[in-house]
Amino acid sequence: MADNISYNAPRGMRDFYPEEMAKRNYIFDAWRQAATEFGFQQYDACVVESLDLLKRKAGEEIVDQIYAFKDKSDRDLALRPEMTPTLARMIVNKQGSLSFPVKWFALAQCFRYERMTRGRKREHYQWNLDIIGEESVTAETEVIAAAVRGLELLGLSASEVKIHFSSRQLLGELLVALGIDEKFHQAAFLALDKRGKITDEQIAKLLLDEGVSEAGTEKVFGLLNIKSLDDAEKLLPDETAGLKNIKDFEELSKVYGLEDILEFDISVIRGLSYYTGIVFEGFDAAHGFRAIFGGGRYANLLNSIGGKPQTAVGLGFGDVVIAEILSDLGRFDEINMAAEYAVAYMNDEQKETAVKVAVKLRSKAKTVDLALNAEIPKKFFKRCEKENFKKAIFIGPDDVEKQTVRIKDLATREQQEVKIEDL
Amino acid sequence: MADNISYNAPRGMRDFYPEEMAKRNYIFDAWRQAATEFGFQQYDACVVESLDLLKRKAGEEIVDQIYAFKDKSDRDLALRPEMTPTLARMIVNKQGSLSFPVKWFALAQCFRYERMTRGRKREHYQWNLDIIGEESVTAETEVIAAAVRGLELLGLSASEVKIHFSSRQLLGELLVALGIDEKFHQAAFLALDKRGKITDEQIAKLLLDEGVSEAGTEKVFGLLNIKSLDDAEKLLPDETAGLKNIKDFEELSKVYGLEDILEFDISVIRGLSYYTGIVFEGFDAAHGFRAIFGGGRYANLLNSIGGKPQTAVGLGFGDVVIAEILSDLGRFDEINMAAEYAVAYMNDEQKETAVKVAVKLRSKAKTVDLALNAEIPKKFFKRCEKENFKKAIFIGPDDVEKQTVRIKDLATREQQEVKIEDL
């Protein structure tokens, strides 16, 4: 431990000193409030999950990034990279007794072993919103509207947010219309999702490697020219199920007041393999950060792990990008971590009175920082200013004698004398 | 996944379905409020810690129980078994810039690989309260008073709580007075701490194995006959530092109104090796569960990991025992997880209006459960009763036409008609 670096958190893991923790709480409080306003119920599960479940249900890219280990009974365990497989397991476990649809949310810590580029971390928290057991697009709109409300509570107005959406079902229908066999669709989705991260040549090579013909590969790229649902409709022989579904979604989202926020974008795919229908990504329109949240419809996850088939919609909203945005906007500056009252005393002779004052105020559920040792007034008031307390009580010999305190309002600098028994 | 058991959480890990999560939030909210009232600031750190730090600083018994693993760069990592070594690391890392004393709290998940007896879990959450950099017994009393306040907020009155306390420093002075060399003290502490868990014969053997003479071992056991500080004083040649310290603590605790709660108990040692002074354990006097919380003074932890010497007091308060107690008292029955409003509709023709009503209410920060599909009134009101909503709005064709809603108070069964625009 001589090396100074070892006092840091392990590589990629975060320490939350009080100032950072206050920011995290600021975000978590908004998430919890938005979810609660929308009637979602909170759940959680231990961050340690069975490796088997995660391997089966996560996207391939993620499997390489799982923190896996064995326990002392040689059980294969892992730190979950995402919450959805755990949610699916919990739902299947009580599928017979839960009343569907269920609307659940979680504030889940997730781990990914990624190469450490540009300050990316290996763990983060994710707000998860899921509706299980609802076919209609009300599920998509409720989840998205709740996320938008979360942003609003964090001070990002709806006008600052853009949500790009598409549909894997529609994309599949378009691929079929272009004559691309269904067995290639999953590969096409995952390849297209990599756009921007790798070159188009690399994407084309991925598709060719999967067995898509050169002509087919060109057609896949051609789909990216679709700019609207009307464009898509022209390529389809008739109104397909996927097209109708995404139109319904667009229609209902207007009733939710989301029309200015939503934007059809054929290139939205999402990286996880279990999505089957509408998919979406939320952005901070004004600032150009990475996606704030993403999600979509997953119809087959429950049966794919052995449960009864039930469709679901989920959304994941991480704490890292939003914290960057809020920090940029100076939103964290308004956080005040200080107690309401600071109580201090001149000498040990006043300590008993100071403790009594603190006990009295706390018994009224006031937040009170009690000086642990005698302090001169100058130092005390300097500390009050630095730490941003609202009211200061400094107890000197006179106060003990008179059994009164002088409560100083640190904003107005007004002072009020109150009997201790009347506090 | 054919085997049903695999839908459960991994062995020893907990799932929190919404009902369990509501209990956890009930406890966490009380902890957070009590800590905040007492001016503690929240911090956190990732549950993944460097194995090296934990091995050096944890009690021996704990080291055997650490969940350890290697990451892909062959780094030795672990899931922390307790928060204190992490806290010490974080403090040392900023020892030059923090203003001491600091008062910090955490709601930390901790892992121990224990044999699974009587439903014991392998992970739990612990409320940690620590004051670093304060020599006086104000640190002990503040920490204990905050914990008692936490219990009070959970509905356990001070009269239902007992806190047993002792002092390792005093115990050391007593051992010296009995002629037992300091090199045996740590072994004596850890052996005595096992009382009740293993037989006295086994404890005696532990001491003999460490090199304590047979006569010395008898003397160690003799200490357990000490019933009061007066008893202890009689065995000491003069007023030692440890005796004075524990008397000061007793004195100050009266000012905090804790005198009826505190009880001197020489047998309180605590299992962790880093304690050096006053140690304590809190119990639910009425119900006879295991200790609710425990803690004490640790003067040497920071310098032992290479930091500047600073004394500290800490307290750990787990979520498992207190949940058993609260469950026993029926305290969880009062938790209501339901949204304030339930909104539903008869047919799809009323869906738009229902969504508008929900959007309107939510824009006023009301919590609203919106039915995701059309529902007949009978089913809706049955569901309202089951889920315990406060107010129900069922939208039929008339409401759409009149643009009004009927808000039914589900407790009084009174109904009020309101224009949607006035909501």
Q: What is the pLDDT of residue A190?
A: 82
Cβ–Cβ of B368/A123 closer than 8 Å?
A: no
> Which residue type, as a one-letter code, is found at position B35?
A
Architecture in CATH of A2-178+235-333: 2-Layer Sandwich (3.30)
Kindly report, as residue ranges, where domains of CATH 3.40.50.800 are found in chain A. Answer: 341-422
List CB contacts (< 8 A) between A9 and chain B.
Answer: 45-46, 49
Query: Quick one: pLDDT at residue B117?
Result: 62
Nearest to A44 among B21, B56, B383 (CB): B21
Residue B56 has pLDDT above 80, yes or no: no
**CB proximity under 8 Å: B 132-171 to A:** 134, 136, 138-139, 141-142, 145, 149
Q: Helices then strands (H, E): number in chain B?
A: 16, 18
Measured between beta carbons, the chain A residues lying within 8 angstroms of B42 are 18, 21-22, 25
Give residue A116's pLDDT: 61
B211-269: per-residue pLDDT in tens? 889 999 998 888 989 999 999 999 999 889 999 999 999 999 999 999 999 999 999 99
Give the distance from residue A44's alpha carbon to the nearest chain B alpha carbon, in angstroms.
Answer: 5
Q: B101: cis peptide before it, omega within 30°?
A: yes
Report, as an integer, the average pLDDT of B383-401.
94
pLDDT tens-digit map of B95-148: 999 999 999 999 999 999 876 665 568 999 999 999 999 999 999 999 999 999
**Contact residues, chain A, for B369 at CB < 8 Å:** 39, 103
Q: Does A178 touch chain B (CB under 8 A)?
A: no
Q: What is the mean pLDDT of residues B60-88?
A: 86
Cβ-based contacts of A355 with chain B (< 8 Å):
138, 141, 252, 255-256
B50 in contact with A at a CB cutoff of 8 Å?
yes
Mention every residue, 6+ apart, whose C-beta is less than 8 A from residue B63.
B54, B55
Q: How confident is the model at residue B308 (pLDDT cuts 50, 70, 90)?
A: very high
Q: What is the pTM of this model?
A: 0.94
Q: b vs e for A71-84, b when ≥16 Cβ sit within 10 Å of the residue's Cβ? A: beeeeebbbbbbbb
Report phi then psi at B209, rounded to 5.
-60, -35
pLDDT over 70, % of chain B: 96
Q: So what's the pLDDT on residue A70?
A: 86
pLDDT band with cut points at 50, 70 and 90 for residue B1: very low
Phi first, then psi: give them for residue B368, nearest 5 degrees: -135, 125
From the CA of B388, how many Å to the nearest CA of chain A? 12
A-interface mutation test, from B15, B27, B67, B391, most A Cβ less than 10 A away: B15
B43 Cβ neighbours under 8 A, 6+ residues apart: A15, A16, A17, A18, A21, B87, B90, B104, B105, B106
pLDDT of residue A170: 96
> How would you class A296 by CB atoms within 10 Å of its CB: exposed for 0-12, middle for 13-18, buried for 19 or more?
buried
Looking at the complex, does the CB of residue B57 fall below 8 Å from at least one CB of chain A? no
> Cα–Cα distance between B89 and B95 in angstroms, integer?
10
Give the residue on A whose Cα is nearest the Cα of B85: A7
**Any A CB within 8 A of B96 CB:** no
Topology adopted by domain B341-422: Rossmann fold (3.40.50)
CATH 3.30.930.10 residue ranges for chain A:
2-178+235-333
* Distance between B68 CA and the closest CA of chain A, angstroms: 8
Report the chain A residue with the minimal C-alpha distance to residue B153: A365
Q: DSSP per residue over B232-246, as a string?
A: HHHHSSS--HHHHHH
Whether the Cβ atoms of residue A126 and residue A321 lie closer than 8 Å to each other: no
User: What span, in angstroms and rounded, lies between the C-alpha atoms of B214 and A24?
Assistant: 56
- Cα angle: A278, vertex A280, A282; to 5 degrees: 160
Cβ distance B90 to A372 less than 8 Å, yes or no, reads no
**B50/A305 touch (CB, cutoff 8 Å), yes or no:** no
Cis peptide before B309 (omega within 30 of 0): no
pLDDT band for B2, please (50, 70, 90 cuts).
very low
CA distance A191 to A183: 14
Residues of A in contact with B6 (CB under 8 A): 50, 52-53, 89
pLDDT at A159: 85
CB contact under 8 Å between A14 and B367, yes or no, is no
* pLDDT at residue B60, rounded to an integer: 58
Q: Which residues of B touch A383 (CB under 8 A)?
A: 99
Ranges of residues in chain A with a pLDDT under 50 are 1-5
Q: Which amino acid is at A33?
A: Q
Query: Chain B within 8 Å of A100 (Cβ-Cβ)?
Result: no
- Residue B357 in this model has a pLDDT that exceeds 90: yes
CB atoms within 10 A of CB A136: 18
User: What average pLDDT does the segment B345-352 reach?
Assistant: 95
Q: What would the mean pLDDT of B177-191 be, rounded to a whole number?
A: 88
The ipTM estimated for the assembled molecules is 0.93
